[in-house]
Amino acid sequence: MGLVIESEIWEPNHALYLVILVSCFLSIVCLPRRSNRASTLFDQSLPSSSFLRFQRSFLLLYSLSSVMEGLWSVFGEYELAYYGVNKEQMMLSLCLSYGAALFLGTFLGILSDLIGHKKVCLIFCILHLFVGVWKRSFAHPGAWLASICLSLASSIFSLSFETWMVIEHDKLGHRQDALNDMFWLMTFTNSASFIGSQVIANWLVHHKMETSAISPSTAVVLLAILAIIFVTRVLKEVPQTPAFKDYRRDFTAYIFGDKRVWILAWAQACIQFSVAVFWILWAPTVVADGREVKLGLIYPCLLGARMLGSTVFPWFFTGPLYLRTEDFLVYVFIVMGFVLSIVAYDYQEIGVLVMLFCLFHACVGLILPSLARLRTMYIPNQLRGGMISLSLAPANAAILFFLLQRGYYQNIENSTILAFAALGLFSAAGCLHLLKRWGKQPNQNWHKP
């Protein structure tokens, strides 16, 4: 008599989705009562109705852009496997992406500051449109060109949208708390849009990609066209063309010449590196014990945790829980470092790993708007894009180095890469501690109160 071994398929408890959703709702709804703010983000009684219109239009554009980014993120690996791309070719595609981000994307922030952020955001939409048309037109699209274009688009997404929003905020003379609200709302809508892109991609891939008129590439083309119309017709930007000589002088004085900005840039690089390492290694880590896992059900849990973390952010700068941003960021970075340290230790229980991953992404959701707020305090608006792009360069260089060492030469293990990411987070916590000692007063920044 033969022995039948049933394979165990692990999936998260469905109650986890409800817990995250309810927690986000309560965090948002209870905040105005606790902080006693005079107005909320969408209060029609606010004096600057023009900025309210910009807020809503910008968040809609940002959501569309996030869905485009999310579609390629979710659909990319499936597409490569569908066309029979082997592991070595996938690794080459990743290396090309981070190589383009390092050698070309590093200068996109400076370009954005010089020619205007609206134009660069338009380039973001055009890049997505080009890749979508390219993949739709050819049965087996070239991965190299697509990887480079999407990498540059992701670099623009990381810096130009935020800088554009901050500059418009200052021009319209709106209140500082509205800017802080926009920071966490951008993180919140970005995570929600990524979940929505997963839903769209899962529905679309059921159709035959070569024969169906509806495919993820077609969806990206339609979204890109809509975003281009939105950028050109709805959102406005006052042209700014600073002379390169003046820009270089200011950049040297305020960015290279300020040790606090160097510290802030290192913290940004560490969080960027750890997040990129996580998304590359989280799936191999979860399935390391040999069990079958429904990764598609874990993905929304992680993004939901990041949404929850972003809703916690306003609790720390308004109301009775007020803290200086540097104060709580020190502890958040330490928590993230310990989480990756435990994962690097190669703990194999999937349930514990998923809880650690959710905690990691909740911290990410809190850190991203917090670092954006610190950039507002320490960096002039006209230099913000260049500073962000330069701060991402060390992270892209480190990721490219580890991809080559792990993917091609097999010199290091996944746990070693995670350990380096944890060390980077601990060093970022030390940097934030120094920034607290050397920094400005809590309400002193480059903007009007």
pLDDT tens sequence across 71-99: 888 776 667 666 666 777 778 888 899 99
Query: Is residue 314 a contact partner of residue 28, using CB atoms and an 8 Å limit?
Result: no
Residue 343 burial (C-beta neighbours within 10 Å; 0-12, 13-18, 19+)? buried
pLDDT in tens, 366-383: 999 999 999 998 999 889
What are the beta bridge partners of residue 10? Answer: 293
Look at residue 392 in the predicted model and tell me its pLDDT.
94
Provide the token pair at 192: 């929600």
pLDDT at 307 over 90: yes
Quote the Cα angle for 89-407-300, to 5°: 80
Q: Which residue has the tokens 């990129």?
A: 276
Q: In three state form, how does the secondary structure of 217-236 look?
A: HHHHHHHHHHHHHHHHHCCC
Q: Which residue has the tokens 């529905």?
A: 203
Segment 293-314 shows an average pLDDT of: 92
Greatest mean pLDDT among 47-61, 313-327, 397-411: 397-411
pLDDT band, residue 170 (cuts 50/70/90): confident
Query: Is residue 301 a contact partner of residue 354, using CB atoms and an 8 Å limit?
Result: yes
Query: Is residue 305 a contact partner of residue 18, using CB atoms and an 8 Å limit?
Result: no
pLDDT in tens, 225-271: 999 998 888 777 666 667 888 889 999 999 998 899 999 999 999 99
Q: What does the CA dihedral 143, 148, 153, 156 come to, rounded to 10 degrees?
A: 160
Provide the token pair at 100: 């383009």
Whole-number Cα distances in Å, 318 to 35, 315, 322, 437? 5, 6, 5, 22
Of 187, 185, 381, 207, whose CA–CA distance to 271 is shortest? Answer: 187
Domain boundaries, the chain: 50-239, 242-440
Largest CA-CA distance found in the chain, in angstroms, rounded: 83
Instruction: Tell me phi and psi for residue 230, to 5 degrees.
Output: -65, -45
pLDDT band, residue 3 (cuts 50/70/90): very low
Q: Which residue has the tokens 């929600």?
A: 192
Quote the Cα angle for 419-424-429, to 5°: 125
The CATH number of the structural domain formed by 242-440 is 1.20.1250.20
Look at residue 77 in the predicted model and tell me its pLDDT.
67
Domains 50-239 and 242-440 in one fold: yes
pLDDT band, residue 1 (cuts 50/70/90): very low
Spatial distance between the Cα atoms of 356 and 353, rounded to a whole number of angstroms: 5
Q: What type of residue sits at position 22?
A: V
The CATH number of the structural domain formed by 50-239 is 1.20.1250.20
pLDDT at 139 over 80: no
pLDDT at 221 over 80: yes
Name every residue whose Cβ is closer than 8 Å to that of residue 133 and which is 6 or more positions away in sequence. 217, 221
For 64-90, the DSSP string reads HHHHHHHHHHHHHHHHHHHTT--HHHH
Segment 391-414 shows an average pLDDT of: 89
- Number of neighbours of residue 352 by Cβ within 10 angstroms: 12
pLDDT at 6 over 60: no
State the sign of the Cα–Cα–Cα–Cα dihedral 363, 365, 369, 375: positive
Look at residue 142 in the predicted model and tell me its pLDDT.
60
Look at residue 141 in the predicted model and tell me its pLDDT.
52
Instruction: Tell me phi and psi for residue 287, to 5 degrees.
Output: -95, 15
Of 329, 352, 330, whose CA–CA distance to 342 is shortest? Answer: 352
Look at residue 84 in the predicted model and tell me its pLDDT.
66
Greatest mean pLDDT among 30-44, 84-98, 152-166, 277-291: 152-166
pLDDT in tens, 317-366: 766 667 788 888 999 999 999 999 999 887 668 888 999 999 999 999 99
